């Protein structure tokens, strides 16, 4: 069963077409990679799925529901969450404070100035659970500005987990990371994929080929191939999209 699908999704800015009748189907429980040359429309696709951009045509279907007209926060409530390529954290707060704010924002008490002690205990417990899950519990009291770039990106993923998503979108999670940080990030993503449907944009083909169950290839805003890593590796059109290089 597809947890997410797009039907003839289209978007252009003036004469520039950035999404051209994009059809994708993401199987529930899968780890899918979206790849393509720079400017292929990968981040635009994520923006259309999450509601950051409004499509010029087509539909976005999540859990058999048309969410094309829903605001981003409404999609989050339904279970669509995202971590960005550029981290979006409060660097002046500690790791735990960042997580607690994200967790509380997703609770019925998120907009209350004063909350009862029991609700705060729940927030603290959930915050610790997520930090344990992503391996940052030992750094919970560190000011976020003092984290390594890799840990900042891990924390950003943790904030995306605060809404208990069914679908997690990761935009270039290993971008700018050292080899050691990249190895740790791929381990975290693999562990998260045991219980979440994950779609990631990634340029590192070694990572894509080793982790993804399915790969969708974009070029100039259009899907040119979808398949298993081996099918994509053997696809002539994909080879040409990457300027004749080996995928």
CATH number, domain containing residue 190: 3.40.50.300
133 and 242 inside one domain = no
Pick from 5-9, 82-86, 179-183: least confident? 82-86
Average pLDDT of the segment spanning 17-41: 94
pLDDT at 127 over 80: yes
- Range of 129's domain? 87-164
Please say which residue of 133, 164, 195 terminates a domain: 164
Determine the Cα angle at 211 with ends 210 and 215, to 5°: 100
Cross-strand bridge partners of residue 11 = 19
Q: How far is CA 105 from the centre of its chain?
A: 19
Share of the chain above pLDDT 90, in %: 81
State residue 113's pLDDT score.
44
- Looking up tokens 């976005």 gives 60
Pick from 48-52, 102-106, 134-138, 229-233: least confident? 102-106
Of 209, 151, 205, 210, give the one whose Cα is nearest residue 178.
151
Mean of the per-residue pLDDT values for the chain?
A: 91
| pLDDT band at residue 119 under the 50/70/90 scheme | low
113 and 4 inside one domain = no
pLDDT at 117 over 50: no
- Helix (H) / strand (E) containing 31: strand 31-35
Share of the chain above pLDDT 70, in %: 93
pTM of the model: 0.90
* Total structural domains within the chain: 2
CA torsion angle for 52, 54, 57, 58 (degrees, to 10)? Answer: 40
């Amino acid at each position: 069963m597809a947890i997410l699908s797009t039907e003839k999704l289209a978007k252009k800015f003036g004469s520039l077409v950035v999404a051209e009748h994009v059809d994708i189907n993401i199987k529930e429980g899968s780890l899918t990679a979206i790849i393509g040359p720079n400017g292929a429309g990968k981040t635009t696709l994520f923006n259309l799925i999450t509601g950051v951009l409004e499509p010029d045509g087509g539909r976005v279907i999540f859990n058999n529901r048309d969410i094309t007209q829903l605001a981003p926060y409404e999609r989050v409530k339904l279970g669509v969450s995202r971590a960005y390529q550029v981290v979006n954290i409060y660097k002046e707060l500690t790791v735990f404070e960042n997580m607690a704010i994200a967790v509380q924002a997703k609770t019925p008490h998120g907009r209350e100035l004063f909350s009862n002690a029991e609700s705060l205990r729940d927030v603290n417990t959930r915050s610790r659970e997520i930090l344990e899950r992503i391996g940052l519990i030992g750094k919970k009291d560190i000011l976020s500005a003092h984290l390594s770039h890799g840990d900042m990106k891990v924390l950003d993923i943790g904030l995306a987990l605060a809404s208990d998503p069914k679908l997690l979108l990761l935009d270039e999670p290993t971008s700018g990371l050292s080899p050691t940080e990249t190895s740790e990030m791929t381990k975290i993503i693999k562990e998260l994929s045991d219980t979440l449907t994950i779609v990631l944009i990634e340029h590192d083909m070694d990572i894509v080929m080793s982790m993804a169950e399915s790969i969708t290839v974009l070029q100039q805003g259009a899907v040119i191939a979808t398949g298993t890593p081996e099918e994509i590796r053997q696809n002539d059109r994909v080879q040409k999209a990457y300027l004749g290089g080996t995928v």
